[in-house]
Amino acid sequence: MDLPFVKEALGNLFKKSSCDMYPVVPKEAAPHYRGRISYDPEKCIACGMCERVCAGGAISRTVEPVEGGDKITLTFNMGSCTFCSMCADFCSHHAIELTGDYHMIATKEEDLLVSGSFIKKKPAPKAAPAPKPAVPAEAKPAEEKSAESQPAAEVKPRDDGKPVCDASKCVYCTLCAKKCPVGAIEVDRAAKTWTLDEDKCVACGTCAEACRKGAIVM
Protein backbone atom coordinates (compact mmCIF):
# COMPACT_ATOMS: atom_id res chain seq x y z
CA MET A 1 0.00 0.00 0.00
CA ASP A 2 1.48 3.29 -1.13
CA LEU A 3 1.15 6.13 1.42
CA PRO A 4 2.85 9.14 -0.22
CA PHE A 5 2.25 11.46 2.74
CA VAL A 6 3.59 9.18 5.46
CA LYS A 7 7.19 9.99 4.74
CA GLU A 8 6.50 13.73 4.69
CA ALA A 9 4.41 13.58 7.88
CA LEU A 10 7.10 11.65 9.74
CA GLY A 11 9.73 14.10 8.54
CA ASN A 12 7.73 17.10 9.81
CA LEU A 13 7.61 15.63 13.30
CA PHE A 14 11.28 16.45 13.73
CA LYS A 15 11.22 19.89 12.12
CA LYS A 16 10.80 23.20 13.94
CA SER A 17 7.22 24.44 13.86
CA SER A 18 6.49 27.29 11.49
CA CYS A 19 3.50 28.42 13.60
CA ASP A 20 3.45 30.58 16.72
CA MET A 21 3.53 28.36 19.79
CA TYR A 22 0.61 30.18 21.41
CA PRO A 23 -0.49 29.84 24.21
CA VAL A 24 2.67 27.99 25.30
CA VAL A 25 4.69 31.03 24.21
CA PRO A 26 2.80 34.29 24.90
CA LYS A 27 2.45 36.61 21.93
CA GLU A 28 2.63 40.36 22.45
CA ALA A 29 -0.17 42.52 21.12
CA ALA A 30 0.39 44.94 18.27
CA PRO A 31 1.36 48.54 19.12
CA HIS A 32 -1.61 50.69 20.23
CA TYR A 33 -3.74 47.57 20.67
CA ARG A 34 -6.82 48.32 22.80
CA GLY A 35 -7.32 45.45 25.23
CA ARG A 36 -8.34 44.99 28.85
CA ILE A 37 -8.88 48.23 30.77
CA SER A 38 -6.51 49.24 33.56
CA TYR A 39 -8.01 51.49 36.25
CA ASP A 40 -6.03 53.40 38.89
CA PRO A 41 -8.40 54.53 41.67
CA GLU A 42 -5.61 56.61 43.25
CA LYS A 43 -5.85 59.07 40.33
CA CYS A 44 -9.65 59.04 40.01
CA ILE A 45 -11.68 62.07 41.19
CA ALA A 46 -15.09 60.45 40.57
CA CYS A 47 -16.17 63.07 38.05
CA GLY A 48 -18.31 60.49 36.22
CA MET A 49 -17.15 61.55 32.76
CA CYS A 50 -16.11 58.01 31.73
CA GLU A 51 -19.52 56.67 32.69
CA ARG A 52 -21.26 59.36 30.64
CA VAL A 53 -19.28 58.84 27.42
CA CYS A 54 -19.24 55.00 27.49
CA ALA A 55 -21.06 53.88 24.33
CA GLY A 56 -21.61 50.33 25.53
CA GLY A 57 -22.80 51.17 29.03
CA ALA A 58 -19.94 49.07 30.40
CA ILE A 59 -19.06 51.38 33.30
CA SER A 60 -20.99 51.52 36.56
CA ARG A 61 -20.37 53.47 39.74
CA THR A 62 -21.52 52.79 43.29
CA VAL A 63 -21.29 55.14 46.26
CA GLU A 64 -21.28 53.81 49.81
CA PRO A 65 -21.27 56.25 52.75
CA VAL A 66 -18.41 55.55 55.16
CA GLU A 67 -16.87 57.41 58.06
CA GLY A 68 -15.31 60.63 56.84
CA GLY A 69 -16.55 60.43 53.26
CA ASP A 70 -17.87 58.12 50.54
CA LYS A 71 -16.46 54.85 49.25
CA ILE A 72 -16.66 55.05 45.47
CA THR A 73 -16.30 51.93 43.34
CA LEU A 74 -15.98 51.98 39.56
CA THR A 75 -16.58 48.75 37.66
CA PHE A 76 -15.73 48.12 34.00
CA ASN A 77 -17.47 45.16 32.32
CA MET A 78 -15.22 43.82 29.57
CA GLY A 79 -18.13 41.76 28.26
CA SER A 80 -20.00 44.96 27.34
CA CYS A 81 -16.97 47.07 26.44
CA THR A 82 -16.53 48.06 22.78
CA PHE A 83 -12.87 49.05 23.35
CA CYS A 84 -13.49 52.44 21.78
CA SER A 85 -11.12 54.12 24.29
CA MET A 86 -13.52 57.01 24.89
CA CYS A 87 -13.27 56.57 28.67
CA ALA A 88 -9.48 56.82 28.59
CA ASP A 89 -9.53 59.74 26.15
CA PHE A 90 -11.90 61.77 28.33
CA CYS A 91 -10.23 60.97 31.66
CA SER A 92 -8.49 64.22 32.59
CA HIS A 93 -6.48 62.56 35.39
CA HIS A 94 -5.29 59.56 33.31
CA ALA A 95 -6.83 57.05 35.71
CA ILE A 96 -7.96 54.81 32.83
CA GLU A 97 -5.94 53.23 30.05
CA LEU A 98 -6.40 50.36 27.61
CA THR A 99 -3.63 47.79 27.85
CA GLY A 100 -2.33 45.19 25.41
CA ASP A 101 -3.91 42.35 27.39
CA TYR A 102 -6.20 40.39 25.06
CA HIS A 103 -6.64 37.31 27.28
CA MET A 104 -10.32 37.73 28.07
CA ILE A 105 -11.83 34.28 27.60
CA ALA A 106 -13.86 33.52 30.73
CA THR A 107 -16.50 31.13 31.97
CA LYS A 108 -17.73 33.49 34.69
CA GLU A 109 -18.86 37.10 34.35
CA GLU A 110 -16.80 38.05 37.41
CA ASP A 111 -13.63 37.30 35.45
CA LEU A 112 -14.58 39.99 32.93
CA LEU A 113 -14.95 42.74 35.53
CA VAL A 114 -12.26 45.32 36.29
CA SER A 115 -12.97 47.38 39.37
CA GLY A 116 -11.34 49.62 41.94
CA SER A 117 -12.40 51.60 45.00
CA PHE A 118 -11.24 54.66 46.88
CA ILE A 119 -12.49 56.90 49.67
CA LYS A 120 -13.54 60.38 48.62
CA LYS A 121 -13.19 62.44 51.78
CA LYS A 122 -15.72 65.09 52.62
CA PRO A 123 -14.33 68.64 52.70
CA ALA A 124 -13.45 69.87 56.15
CA PRO A 125 -15.92 72.37 57.60
CA LYS A 126 -14.91 75.95 56.99
CA ALA A 127 -13.86 77.91 60.04
CA ALA A 128 -16.11 80.86 60.85
CA PRO A 129 -14.44 84.18 59.93
CA ALA A 130 -13.39 86.42 62.78
CA PRO A 131 -15.93 89.18 63.49
CA LYS A 132 -15.02 92.58 62.16
CA PRO A 133 -14.63 95.43 64.65
CA ALA A 134 -17.70 97.56 65.05
CA VAL A 135 -17.73 100.88 63.21
CA PRO A 136 -19.70 103.81 64.57
CA ALA A 137 -22.94 104.35 62.70
CA GLU A 138 -22.06 107.95 61.80
CA ALA A 139 -18.85 106.76 60.11
CA LYS A 140 -20.59 104.35 57.75
CA PRO A 141 -21.55 105.47 54.23
CA ALA A 142 -25.25 105.57 53.38
CA GLU A 143 -24.82 102.78 50.80
CA GLU A 144 -23.27 100.46 53.39
CA LYS A 145 -26.07 101.15 55.87
CA SER A 146 -28.64 100.26 53.23
CA ALA A 147 -26.85 97.01 52.35
CA GLU A 148 -26.61 96.00 56.00
CA SER A 149 -30.30 96.58 56.56
CA GLN A 150 -31.09 93.91 53.95
CA PRO A 151 -29.93 90.39 54.95
CA ALA A 152 -28.19 88.41 52.21
CA ALA A 153 -30.38 85.79 50.54
CA GLU A 154 -29.48 82.22 51.47
CA VAL A 155 -27.97 80.26 48.60
CA LYS A 156 -29.51 76.78 48.44
CA PRO A 157 -28.04 73.71 46.67
CA ARG A 158 -29.57 72.57 43.40
CA ASP A 159 -31.59 69.39 43.06
CA ASP A 160 -29.29 68.03 40.32
CA GLY A 161 -26.18 68.32 42.49
CA LYS A 162 -24.46 70.93 40.32
CA PRO A 163 -22.62 73.84 41.97
CA VAL A 164 -24.08 77.23 42.82
CA CYS A 165 -21.90 80.26 43.52
CA ASP A 166 -22.62 82.44 46.55
CA ALA A 167 -21.69 85.89 45.26
CA SER A 168 -21.52 87.30 48.79
CA LYS A 169 -18.58 84.98 49.58
CA CYS A 170 -16.87 84.63 46.19
CA VAL A 171 -13.63 86.58 45.67
CA TYR A 172 -13.34 85.55 41.99
CA CYS A 173 -9.92 84.00 42.49
CA THR A 174 -10.52 81.58 39.54
CA LEU A 175 -9.27 78.60 41.56
CA CYS A 176 -12.49 76.66 40.96
CA ALA A 177 -12.21 77.22 37.21
CA LYS A 178 -8.61 76.00 37.20
CA LYS A 179 -9.49 72.86 39.17
CA CYS A 180 -12.60 71.92 37.13
CA PRO A 181 -11.67 68.73 35.21
CA VAL A 182 -14.07 69.46 32.35
CA GLY A 183 -13.65 73.24 32.04
CA ALA A 184 -17.26 73.95 32.98
CA ILE A 185 -16.58 77.12 35.03
CA GLU A 186 -15.66 80.53 33.68
CA VAL A 187 -14.70 83.37 36.03
CA ASP A 188 -14.24 86.98 34.94
CA ARG A 189 -12.32 88.78 37.68
CA ALA A 190 -12.76 92.22 36.14
CA ALA A 191 -16.51 91.92 35.70
CA LYS A 192 -16.90 89.83 38.88
CA THR A 193 -18.95 87.13 37.19
CA TRP A 194 -19.06 83.36 37.75
CA THR A 195 -20.57 81.26 34.96
CA LEU A 196 -21.31 77.53 34.85
CA ASP A 197 -21.62 75.59 31.59
CA GLU A 198 -24.55 73.26 32.32
CA ASP A 199 -23.69 70.87 29.49
CA LYS A 200 -20.08 70.35 30.58
CA CYS A 201 -20.58 70.13 34.35
CA VAL A 202 -20.52 66.59 35.75
CA ALA A 203 -21.26 67.57 39.38
CA CYS A 204 -18.03 66.04 40.65
CA GLY A 205 -17.62 68.50 43.52
CA THR A 206 -14.00 69.40 42.74
CA CYS A 207 -14.81 73.12 42.60
CA ALA A 208 -16.48 73.07 46.03
CA GLU A 209 -13.51 71.26 47.55
CA ALA A 210 -11.08 73.75 46.01
CA CYS A 211 -12.96 76.89 47.12
CA ARG A 212 -11.24 78.38 50.17
CA LYS A 213 -14.09 80.78 50.91
CA GLY A 214 -16.91 78.26 50.96
CA ALA A 215 -18.60 80.19 48.16
CA ILE A 216 -19.65 77.16 46.13
CA VAL A 217 -22.74 75.33 47.37
CA MET A 218 -23.59 71.77 46.31
pLDDT, tens digit (0-9, with 9 covering 90-100), for 79-135 = 999 999 999 998 888 999 999 999 888 899 999 999 999 998 876 666 666 676 765
Note whether residue 7 is domain-resident: no
201 and 112 in one domain?
no
Q: Is residue 207 within 8 Å of residue 163, measured between CB atoms? A: yes
173 and 95 in one domain?
no
- Look at residue 136 in the predicted model and tell me its pLDDT: 62
185 and 100 in one domain?
no
User: How many whole angstroms separate alpha carbon 179 and alpha carbon 128?
Assistant: 24
- Look at residue 74 in the predicted model and tell me its pLDDT: 95
Q: Is residue 32 within 8 Å of residue 99, measured between CB atoms? A: no
H or E segment to which residue 7 belongs: helix 4-12
User: How many whole angstroms separate alpha carbon 35 and alpha carbon 176?
Assistant: 35
* Beta-ladder partners of 120: 70
- Look at residue 127 in the predicted model and tell me its pLDDT: 63
Confidence of residue 68 (pLDDT cuts 50, 70, 90): confident
The parent domain of residue 98 ranges over: 22-121
- Look at residue 141 in the predicted model and tell me its pLDDT: 60
Note whether residue 145 is domain-resident: no
- Look at residue 112 in the predicted model and tell me its pLDDT: 94
Order of strands across the sheet that contains 59-66: 59-66, 69-77, 113-121
The residue-averaged pLDDT of 3-17 equals: 77
Note whether residue 11 is domain-resident: no
- Look at residue 64 in the predicted model and tell me its pLDDT: 92
Q: pLDDT digit string (tens) for 142-197?
A: 555 555 555 556 888 888 788 999 999 999 999 999 888 888 999 998 999 999 99
Q: Tell me the CATH number at 110.
A: 3.30.70.3270
If one counts the domains in the chain, the total is 2
Note whether residue 142 is domain-resident: no
Which residue, of 73, 96, 121, is where some domain finishes? 121
Note whether residue 179 is domain-resident: yes
Note whether residue 101 is domain-resident: yes
Question: Is omega for the bond preceding 23 within 30 degrees of 0, making it cis?
Answer: yes
27 and 111 in one domain?
yes
191 and 106 in one domain?
no
Question: DSSP string of 141-174?
Answer: -HHHHHHHHSPPPPPPPPTT---EE-TTT-----
The residue-averaged pLDDT of 14-28 equals: 78
Note whether residue 146 is domain-resident: no
User: How many whole angstroms separate alpha carbon 167 and alpha carbon 191?
Assistant: 12
- CB environment 92-120: b (16+ within 10 A), e (fewer): eeebbebeeeeeeeeeeeeebebebebeb
Confidence of residue 140 (pLDDT cuts 50, 70, 90): low
Q: pLDDT digit string (tens) for 38-63?
A: 999 999 988 888 998 998 999 999 99
Strands (E), 67-112: 69-77, 96-98
Which residue, of 94, 121, 148, is where some domain finishes? 121
- Look at residue 95 in the predicted model and tell me its pLDDT: 95
Which residue, of 71, 105, 121, is where some domain finishes? 121
Q: Please count the other Cβ atoms lying within 10 Å of the Cβ belonging to residue 60.
A: 15
